[in-house]
Amino acid sequence: MQLKLLFSLINFMSTILLVFVAFRIKSEKDYIKSIRSLLLSAAAAVSSNILIANSTGISFANLSYCFYFTQLDWLSYFLCVFSLEYTEHKTLLKKINPFAVTICLLDTIFLYTNLIHPYIYSVYTKLGADGTIYYQTSLNPVYNIHLALDYSLIFIGLVTLSVSLYHSYGFYRKKYSSIIFVVGLIIVLNIIYMMFSLPLDFSVLFYVIAGILIHYYATMFIPKHIKNQALGFVVNYMNEGLILFDKDYNCIYSNTMVEEQFGLQVSNITIDTPILKEIAADHNLSSEKTFSTLYQTEIEDMQYSYKVHFRNIFDDKMRNLGSFYIFENVTEEYVAYSKMKEAQEIADRANKTKSLFLANMSHEIRTPINSVLGMNEMILRESKNEQIIDYAQNIDSAGTTLLMLINDILDFSKIEAGKFELVNTTYSFQQLMHDCYVMLLPRAEGKHLNFKVSLNENIPCKLFGDKNRILQILINIVSNAIKYTPQGNVTVNADYESITDNRIQLTIKVSDTGIGISQENIHKLFDAFVRVDQEKNKNIEGTGLGLAIAKQLSEMMDGTILVESELNKGSTFTILLTQQVEDSAPGGPLPVKNVSEKPITEGAFVAPQAKILVVDDVKVNLKVVSALLKRTKVQIDTAESGEEAIAFCEKNKYDIILMDHMMPGMDGIEAFHAIRNGNGINRNTIQIVLTANAINGASEEYTAEGFEDYLSKPVKGIDLEQMLLKYLPKEYIEAI
């Protein structure tokens, strides 16, 4: 009785184990379904033996044996199917499967008919030594049909496995040989059991062992073995070096690249190996989980660069398992990066050289123009001869045009170099339109053109944007329209459209009745240094940069410029700009101002108590400033160098110092700092830079140096006077 209980307990635990393993399988391989069915059939066969051992009569034992033998049929079937699927004999499986299923079903029915009449096998009782009754079978000759079916299915599986083993190679041989071993084990153990007459059938436990082994080899051992082999192959021959340590920093692996590049092998690698010690010098390996660094070395007169990655390895409970180094060869990338960096430095030097050239060019050109226009302004102020005034006005017009050309070239160069920056402020669009009208009306009247500016009075009164660049766009477009319109009209109309509550799109249309542009030439309008119809318009002044600059400035403001034109009938340029709204109240009409009044020729104030120092290395410039400020009656000292300016400042107290920048010897910035940082009486004196450097951003650079303000040459008398009014003590100012 104790033997039966032990037998039942072992079989029950085996059944639970088989079912548990069967439902742990989650792979999507074709043969996994067969393995699961195989394990469940084995579980059913094992559980049937519990029924046999605990049968209370021959009839129940007979039923239990039927269940047991039929499970052997299906177990053999699933073993055969698994073998065919595992060896990828899908065509053979399609042919055998219908036949095998049919035979298994017939054998199942055939076995259960033994319940009616025991002509396949017979059940008899056997008394054990301890008096316990056991039920065993006496096999009739017909039972051989059942055995033939089972062993035929197993034989088919063995043959397909053997054929695949014969055609396989390398570690794939283990894939098939291990399964052949398990199937052969089932057969051998069954034969051994049949050779002994045991009271209880322990042979089913072989199915537990065999089923678990098949599952282990098919789904775990072989895939892991192949993966490890493949990973080992890949790791050993990858371009990166790998050194692996255990938790005690004993080297347990290094790949081929480490040996080839550094001459290191597992046997001579420690954590204190020079190359590793040098890499880890700035890191605590026990506390830092990971780090990356650049390591450079010379091997056989060749410079190599490696990006070295260190990582500690932890399990899910953050216990240290080991660590590894990966050496990523970045020599080519580092060389490419070095070349790119060198090219960038060359480009930066070229840009600086270009900027310096532009600044010098601006200075060299503006310096004589400053003299010409400054002296010319004095002629306009003091001459009473109408013919002379007419000549002077022509000089002023030509000088202004020359300045515009210079400004265009400087602006375009800055835009192309990516150095042009927008300076956004709050401004009145209505005032901006008025300024444009005031500036360009004399030019339009000079050609007897009808010039008109209008706007939607509901355009918000306060916008946020770069008003100077918007004005520059407008002046460029309108000037272009005036330039190419021999007679008729030039009109400017501004409107807007709301985008969001605080953003609008300005639409400014500039229309003219000028010469127009042919359709084939419209696409060339915004190209730099291109003049459309060059031969036809050869007498019209300009560099061909105005429209290109206007286009690029508008795009910098997320806008654009559109053009419609018809040859000999005129053109319409549409400027679209997005602006932020600071105050949505309607701005109203254009400000009213008499734009035709004569230039101011009488001083608006005098300041005889004020004393200023003008510093410039060009004598004519000193004369120009002195002449332009003559009517203010301020006391003026002049210095021709930075050193001379410092000498003056040591002796005299000044209210304002006008300082040139580019001077030989000590330049204006050096002189500024010498005066500002010295102990003299002028260390707190207002210093204003008066320079021919009109490059975009120059004002900000001088302010950053500490100058209170900035004036560019050529300077107008009115600008000088306004600067004095801004900074001179109020008690010095006397109105006229």
At residue 443 the predicted structure's pLDDT band, cuts being 50, 70 and 90, is confident
Please tell me the distance from the alpha carbon of residue 724 to that of residue 47, in angstroms, as a whole number: 111
DSSP string, 110-123: HHHGGGTS-SSEEE
**Same domain (yes/no): 53, 173:** yes
Residue 162 lies in a domain: yes
Please tell me the distance from the alpha carbon of residue 94 to that of residue 724, in angstroms, as a whole number: 104
At residue 302 the predicted structure's pLDDT band, cuts being 50, 70 and 90, is confident
Give backbone dihedrals phi and psi of 238, rounded to 5 degrees, phi first.
Answer: -75, 165
Q: What is the largest CA-CA distance in the chain?
A: 153
At residue 696 the predicted structure's pLDDT band, cuts being 50, 70 and 90, is low
221: number of Cβ within 10 Å: 15
Which of 214-223, 396-405, 626-635 holds the top average pLDDT? Answer: 626-635
Q: Is the peptide bond before 223 cis (omega within 30 degrees of 0)?
A: no
Please tell me the distance from the alpha carbon of residue 714 to that of residue 369, in angstroms, as a whole number: 6
Give the domain extent around 697. Answer: 605-735
**Hey, which residues does 498 pair with through a beta bridge?**
504
pLDDT in tens, 529-552: 455 554 454 444 544 567 887 888
Contacts of 122 (CB under 8 A, 6+ apart): 137, 138, 140
**Same domain (yes/no): 256, 134:** no
| Predicted local distance difference test score (pLDDT) of residue 285 | 78
Please tell me the distance from the alpha carbon of residue 242 to that of residue 228, in angstroms, as a whole number: 16
**Same domain (yes/no): 265, 404:** no
Q: Coil, strand or helix: which one is 393?
A: helix
Residue 488 lies in a domain: yes
| Predicted local distance difference test score (pLDDT) of residue 535 | 46
**Same domain (yes/no): 504, 393:** no
Which CATH number goes with the domain that contains 125? 1.20.1070
At residue 1 the predicted structure's pLDDT band, cuts being 50, 70 and 90, is low
Please tell me the distance from the alpha carbon of residue 531 to that of residue 292, in angstroms, as a whole number: 57
| Predicted local distance difference test score (pLDDT) of residue 461 | 92
Which of 26-35, 273-282, 531-540 holds the top average pLDDT? Answer: 273-282
Residue 679 lies in a domain: yes
| Predicted local distance difference test score (pLDDT) of residue 544 | 53
Residue where a domain stops, chosen among 231, 260, 276? 231
Residue 136 lies in a domain: yes
**Hey, which residues does 304 pair with through a beta bridge?**
297
At residue 574 the predicted structure's pLDDT band, cuts being 50, 70 and 90, is very high
| Predicted local distance difference test score (pLDDT) of residue 613 | 95
Which one is predicted more confidently, 292 or 728? 728
Which one is predicted more confidently, 145 or 365? 145
Contact, 84 vs 123, CB < 8 A?
Answer: no
Residue where a domain stops, chosen among 539, 558, 586? 586
**Hey, which residues does 294 pair with through a beta bridge?**
307
**Same domain (yes/no): 254, 388:** no
Above 60 in pLDDT, residue 371?
A: yes
Residue 731 lies in a domain: yes
Residue 222 lies in a domain: yes
At residue 415 the predicted structure's pLDDT band, cuts being 50, 70 and 90, is low
Residue 309 CA from chain centroid, whole number: 23
Above 80 in pLDDT, residue 249?
A: yes
Mean pLDDT, range 353-375, rounded to an integer: 72
Which CATH number goes with the domain that contains 298? 3.30.450.20
Residue 500 lies in a domain: yes
pLDDT in tens, 185-210: 777 777 776 676 665 666 666 677 77
Please tell me the distance from the alpha carbon of residue 428 to that of residue 590, in angstroms, as a whole number: 10
Q: Where are the beta strands (DSSP E) in 569-670?
A: 570-586, 605-606, 611-615, 635-639, 656-659
Q: What is the DSSP letter of 654?
A: -
Residue where a domain stops, chosen among 348, 381, 412? 412
**Same domain (yes/no): 223, 255:** no
| Predicted local distance difference test score (pLDDT) of residue 649 | 94
**Same domain (yes/no): 140, 254:** no
The arrangement of strands across the sheet holding 290-299 comes to 251-254, 241-246, 320-329, 302-314, 290-299
**Same domain (yes/no): 20, 159:** yes
**Same domain (yes/no): 18, 94:** yes
| Predicted local distance difference test score (pLDDT) of residue 420 | 64
**Same domain (yes/no): 154, 25:** yes
Which CATH number goes with the domain that contains 551? 3.30.565.10
- Number of domains present in the structure of the chain: 5
**Same domain (yes/no): 171, 253:** no
| Predicted local distance difference test score (pLDDT) of residue 495 | 94
Please tell me the distance from the alpha carbon of residue 586 to that of residue 463, in angstroms, as a whole number: 11
Residue 104 lies in a domain: yes
**Same domain (yes/no): 90, 188:** yes
